[in-house]
Structure 1
Amino acid sequence: MDLGFKTLALSALLSSSLGLSPAAFAQAPTQQTPADQQAVPDAPAPQAPSSLKGLGPLTPGIGSPSTTPASSTSTDVPQQAPSTQPPPSQTRDVQTTPPDNMTPEDIGSKLVVNTTYVEVPVTVKDSKGKPVAGLTWRDFKVYENDTWEPLKIFTVDPAPLSIAFVIDQSLTSDVMAKVNDSLSAFQGALSPYDEVAIFSYNNGPREWTGFTGAQGNRVPAVLALAKSVGRDDLVPVNSGPFAGCAITKNGGCVDSNPTVTQGGSTGDPAFITIPKEIHTLNDAILKAAKELSTRPQGRRRIIYVISDGKEYGSKATYKDVLHYLQANKIAVYGTAVGDSARWGEGYISRLHLPFTMYDNRLYGYVTATGGVLDSEGSLNGIEKSYAKITEEARNQYTLVYASHEPLIDGKYRKIEVRVNRPGVDVIAKKGYYPSGQDYQR
């Protein structure tokens, strides 16, 4: 109800009760309010939102650079004077310069820690030739160039194999027949995670198939094609129609063409014709190693050779092939057959006489790269060696350390692995050449 309407009603009521006219009541002085009682002001009128024009640019996290507040249109709220104090310092770090425009590849090339990681697969056997299991990283010590290297990675997990299977077709016919019959058992020694490529050599290497799944249908078909009849043993002769001087007269050689007959026109009955044997083992291992070096990291690279180990007539030298193997982390395993598998003769064949054929060059590759060489003479033994060697190659102790040597120097680095167990045989590679595959970022 309005305040004026209440005043008129109250004056009419008092005039009627006191006998006063309304005009007299209107002339009566009004009652003063106490001095301490203040009039209640009206609420401020609604204000329209102030415009943002004139405030300047807005910076995220800072706001407008203007420190002067907008003036209020209400007369009821006292207007504050502009502050003369500087704004408080910001506690949040603000980037003032833009970052470099880099792709993820650029970032990876800028944040680099070059470390030469060296992987050393190790096989440990007891005095009976059986693998020793249950060893931990505390049982191993690795020395590179006579300097102890702490282990960075140690694992006993089985690794998938990339096997380059090399068949010697220069074997004698009787030994070659055993090898041909055993090839059907080779696929049974492989797991579904393995892959295999098949090579052979006689007078030069040959690749039958590139790397394919170990349990695929291609493997037995290619192994059947890789069978050979072998060769027959040849013996030196110094008489008869195959001798250097087929016809003699008074101790001399009868020949109208002295340049053809060995020993000249006079002849020499003591001259022995030695048949030449071609065994291109170096070339075959090098060809298999080149194909094997393209396999991805994480797979164990193996060259498996079934041969008598003889070497003669290769274009590649043993030193160059071994350098390539040690630079690409390739181990050579083998099954020795023929003369190299006989007791006693197998050890003698490892020796080499100057200017003669190498009777067992395969043994040098195996020992230098950390592989295993098994000697078998029977068909059953050859078949069992496939499963035995592939199992040992798959289940090894893998040691990884960071080399203290310079990143790239191209020098050979000697490796020695020691095991804190008495009476065990430690099989590991003797050394390596550094390559770009060992560098980790």
Structure 2
Amino acid sequence: MNCPRKFLAAGLTACLAGAVPAVPQSVQPPSPAQSSGPAPSLRTQAEPRARIRTTVSLVVVPVTVKDGAGGLVTDLHKNDFRIFEDGIEQEIAMFSVDPFPLSAAVLVDDDLKRSSADRVQKTLEALAGGFSASDEVSLWRFDEVPESLSDFITENDALLTQLKRIDLSSSFPGVGSAGGPPLNAQPQPGQPPSPAMSILHTNYKHINDAIYAAAEQLRDRARDRRKIICLISDGQNAKNNTHSYKETLELLLSADISVYAIGVGEPNVNHRITFLGRNILAKYAHATGGDIFYASSRDDLERLYPRVSEQARNQYTIAYSAARTDHTQPYHSIEVRVERPGLSLLARDGYYLNPRP
């Protein structure tokens, strides 16, 4: 069992919201973990949190930096970064390496093929190990309609209990509730090839709507938290979602929510979807400054669950003043650059000046 993460007090002045007028308030993000590796923390006790006094309007941008092997880079400083809004370089007003508590919505695909559903089902309890005593977690599952399984949970035992109660549909040996034969299956003798025998089968799964519902739940969580959606899915999305990708992305960016996706299923299916540019999981992850991972085994899933929470918690936080922002335009692009060569970074593509009502 892992030891609880300890946080150090640190004072910062910032507005932990998008580019909206801020009023003085106190929020308390925790500070850096004193560990050398990405070992997850279990919820055991309350942790001290530092005070941040908000007095100005800042655009806050969490940033993840990785080396060529995909490992997190944690030794960068303020002068290693440059940040641009609408192509114009901005002065960095605040820089922090302090980890933040998470508000996480775990969104589980309930329309997977049998083998994938079985793998996910057997690993769900491992999700709890990635969250600390300062985090709060809600649980969802979805197919055509998103279903809220719990409100936000802060106790580890309660989270484990709820995870044990989740029963994923796994009665479809092929491609889930959409029907049709298994992927790459051959027609029976004397039967003509079926149009359903394709790598991108027709389905009735609404990923946009599921993300939108989870984002609606997350949008009003405290500003001193990292708000994330942990999405576990095969990435196959129906065309008749109530909410479009654009509409859903606007809500995510307005509410400062990042999507961390774990793609499940056969590796060739995931890679094929990516190659065709139809990977909705990757689109959401990259646009919101989250990340995407792929799991083809139970071991992969159990390894990735704590990695998602660790990565989301331990981002660099960069903020700049929105004083020179063109307030006549609702959307503003963001580009973050790192000066050290050989590194890659993840940050959201932009923000909306006026959050959605």
Considering fraction of residues, name the structure with more strand: 2
- Residue in 1 aligned with 2:245? 318
Alpha carbons 1:204, 1:314 under 8 Å: kept: no
One-letter amino acid matched to 2:173: D
Task: Report the alpha carbon displacement of residue 114 of structure 1 after superposing the two structures with TM.
Answer: 9.6
Task: Report the alpha carbon displacement of residue 426 of structure 1 after superposing the two structures with TM.
Answer: 1.1
- Residue in 2 aligned with 1:381? 300
Alpha carbons 2:106, 2:230 under 8 Å: kept: yes
Task: Report the alpha carbon displacement of residue 295 of structure 1 after superposing the two structures with TM.
Answer: 0.2
Task: Report the alpha carbon displacement of residue 126 of structure 1 after superposing the two structures with TM.
Answer: 0.5
Paired residue secondary structure (2:107): strand
- Residue in 2 aligned with 1:307? 233
> Structure 1 residues 160, 273: CA separation in 2 closer, same or farther (over 3 Å shift)?
closer
| Rounded Cα–Cα distance in structure 1 between residues aligned with 2:204 and 2:97 | 41
2:343 to 419, 424, 427: 424
> Structure 1 residues 270, 122: CA separation in 2 closer, same or farther (over 3 Å shift)?
closer
> Structure 1 residues 408, 277: CA separation in 2 closer, same or farther (over 3 Å shift)?
same
| Rounded Cα–Cα distance in structure 2 between residues aligned with 1:125 and 1:272 | 42
| Rounded Cα–Cα distance in structure 2 between residues aligned with 1:168 and 1:278 | 12
One-letter amino acid matched to 1:152: A
Deviations 1:356-393 (A, max 9, x none): xx5x2111000100111111111011011011111011
- Does 1:235 find its partner at 2:181? yes
Paired residue secondary structure (2:156): coil
- Does 1:367 find its partner at 2:286? yes
| Rounded Cα–Cα distance in structure 2 between residues aligned with 1:380 and 1:270 | 35
Counting only pairs closer than 5 Å after superposition, residues 14-29 of structure 1 correspond to structure 2 as: none
Task: Report the alpha carbon displacement of residue 351 of structure 1 after superposing the two structures with TM.
Answer: 4.7
Deviations 1:310-353 (A, max 9, x none): 110421111100011111100000111103xx15x433302558
Bigger mean CA offset, 427-436 vs 123-132: 427-436
Alpha carbons 2:333, 2:351 under 8 Å: kept: yes
1:222 to 158, 162, 170: 162
One-letter amino acid matched to 2:270: G
| Rounded Cα–Cα distance in structure 2 between residues aligned with 1:326 and 1:405 | 20
Paired residue secondary structure (1:154): strand
1:348 to 272, 288, 300: 272
Task: Report the alpha carbon displacement of residue 115 of structure 1 after superposing the two structures with TM.
Answer: 5.6
Alpha carbons 2:282, 2:291 under 8 Å: kept: no
| Rounded Cα–Cα distance in structure 1 between residues aligned with 2:196 and 2:318 | 53
One-letter amino acid matched to 1:308: D
| Rounded Cα–Cα distance in structure 2 between residues aligned with 1:271 and 1:420 | 53
Counting only pairs closer than 5 Å after superposition, residues 182-261 of structure 1 correspond to structure 2 as: 182-213=123-154, 215-230=155-170, 231-233=172-174, 234-235=180-181
Alpha carbons 2:255, 2:355 under 8 Å: kept: no
| Rounded Cα–Cα distance in structure 2 between residues aligned with 1:270 and 1:396 | 50
Paired residue secondary structure (1:349): helix
- Does 1:124 find its partner at 2:43? no
Counting only pairs closer than 5 Å after superposition, residues 324-339 of structure 1 correspond to structure 2 as: 324-339=251-266
> Structure 1 residues 409, 212: CA separation in 2 closer, same or farther (over 3 Å shift)?
farther
Paired residue secondary structure (2:159): helix
1:279 to 190, 200, 205: 205
What is the count of residue pairs matched by the alignment?
290
